[in-house]
């Protein structure tokens, strides 16, 4: 059964870059090792170089840091999703899906496509495929995916009530 705790998304501050870098190392290490690409220093440098307080949000569960996501304007139009990391102890309970649905509903409401890049063979690739992303390019390491905007989402009464109870906030995605 998927059961996820109440969560919020809040704009990231400069103090969040190191916890995000630590979380990336924790959640991506196995896939990067499998692909022969694990380098802890490079991983941390990439987070620092990509980090943006304007486009990054931190996921909080019961007020505690639980993950991150960056949504920035894409060079091809639409949005680019990156640095979507969720603490391992919260994975597999529907929380990542709930956050992703929220992000995609915002993109759909704006009529914008969403692009992303995942590591080949990662569980994240399967998650994104379940949510309408299709592969547009792949190489031995990376898989580029795209999701076209869907029509307006219709929430069931239960989903609407759950969204109101959890008090989602997402002020960091405005362009």
Range of the domain at 137: 7-169
* pTM of the complete model: 0.82
Q: Would you say residue 163 lies in a domain?
A: yes
Q: Would you say residue 161 lies in a domain?
A: yes
pLDDT at 160 over 50: no
Q: Would you say residue 1 lies in a domain?
A: no
Could you give the residue ranges of the DSSP H alpha helices within the chain?
17-34, 40-50, 95-110, 123-130, 157-166
Q: Would you say residue 112 lies in a domain?
A: yes
Partners of 138 in the beta sheet?
Answer: 143
Short-list 164, 170, 50, 53, CA closest to 110? 170
Q: Would you say residue 69 lies in a domain?
A: yes
pLDDT level of residue 156 (50, 70, 90 thresholds): very low
Q: Would you say residue 77 lies in a domain?
A: yes
Q: Would you say residue 175 lies in a domain?
A: no
- Taking only the tens place, the pLDDT of each residue in 5-51 is 789 999 999 999 999 999 999 999 999 998 999 999 999 999 999 99
Q: Would you say residue 174 lies in a domain?
A: no
| CATH number where 93 lies | 3.40.630.30
- Predicted confidence at residue 4, as pLDDT, reads 67
Annotate 128-152 with DSSP letters as a single string: HHHTT-EEEEE-SSEEEEEEPPPS-
Number of domains in the chain: 1
pLDDT at 155 over 50: no
């Amino acid at each position: 059964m998927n059961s996820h705790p109440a969560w919020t998304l809040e704009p990231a501050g400069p103090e969040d870059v190191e916890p995000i870098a630590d979380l990336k190392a924790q959640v991506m290490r196995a896939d990067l090792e499998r692909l022969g690409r694990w380098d802890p220093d490079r991983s941390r440098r990439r987070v620092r170089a990509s980090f943006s307080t304007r486009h990054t949000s931190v996921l909080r569960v019961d007020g505690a840091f639980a993950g991150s996501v960056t949504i920035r304007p894409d060079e091809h139009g639409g949005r680019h999703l990156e640095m979507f990391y969720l603490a391992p102890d919260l994975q597999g309970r529907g929380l990542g899906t709930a956050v992703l649905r929220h992000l995609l509903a915002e993109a759909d409401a704006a009529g914008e496509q969403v692009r992303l890049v995942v590591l080949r063979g990662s569980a994240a690739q399967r998650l994104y495929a379940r949510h309408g992303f299709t592969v547009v390019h792949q190489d031995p390491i990376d898989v580029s995916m795209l999701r076209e905007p869907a029509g307006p989402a219709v929430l069931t009464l239960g989903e609407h009530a759950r969204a109101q109870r959890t008090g989602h906030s997402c002020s960091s995605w405005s362009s």
